[in-house]
Amino acid sequence: MNDTNDVNDTNDSWDIVNALAHRLDAHSDRTDEQRWTLQALKLQEEAGEVAEAVIGALGVNPRKGFSHDWDDVRREACDVALSALVMLTRMGGDPRRFFEEHLRSVAGRDLPDTAADTAVDTTADTTA
């Protein structure tokens, strides 16, 4: 079964992220650190596309006018998030656990105590 069929058989976002990361790694002969560096550059490229979309949504560039809308900005922001998760996955280990632990840490730092306790439930059964 190919990656596309695997992705269509699941609703788990992390399965899709893992499939994308695997596909990229399968087509690369670079070292781990080179792949991670290139993925970091891809992440920055995607962030630039968010900025371009915001400029277009505001119509700031007189040559291009209103070239984007706020849904374009949302899509570009999703590309940034996806690129970051793919990077985390390509770096190995357990990216889901790492992300959820980091999210819990940020919640503990920035949200009231009651919200931090329920912000991320890493013990929930996600296989159901």
User: Greater confidence, 42 or 123?
Assistant: 42
Which whole number is the average pLDDT over 48-73?
98
User: Is the distance from CB of 36 to CB of 91 less than 8 angstroms?
Assistant: yes
pLDDT score at 126: 47
pLDDT, average across residues 70-84 = 98
Contacts of 55 (CB under 8 A, 6+ apart): 61, 68
The stretch 48-75 carries a mean pLDDT of 98
Maximum CA extent, the chain:
52
Question: What backbone phi and psi angles, to 5 degrees, belong to 123?
Answer: -95, -5
Whether residue 128 contacts residue 116, with contact meaning beta carbons closer than 8 Å, is answered with no
Q: Write down the pLDDT at residue 24.
A: 96
- Of 111, 13, 16, which Cα lies nearest the Cα of 4? 16
Which pTM does this prediction carry?
0.78
pLDDT at residue 1 in the model: 43
**Model pLDDT for residues 101-112, shown as the tens digit of each residue:** 999 999 999 998
Work out the angle at residue 17's Cα, subtended by the Cα atoms of residues 12 and 20, and round it to the nearest 5 degrees.
130
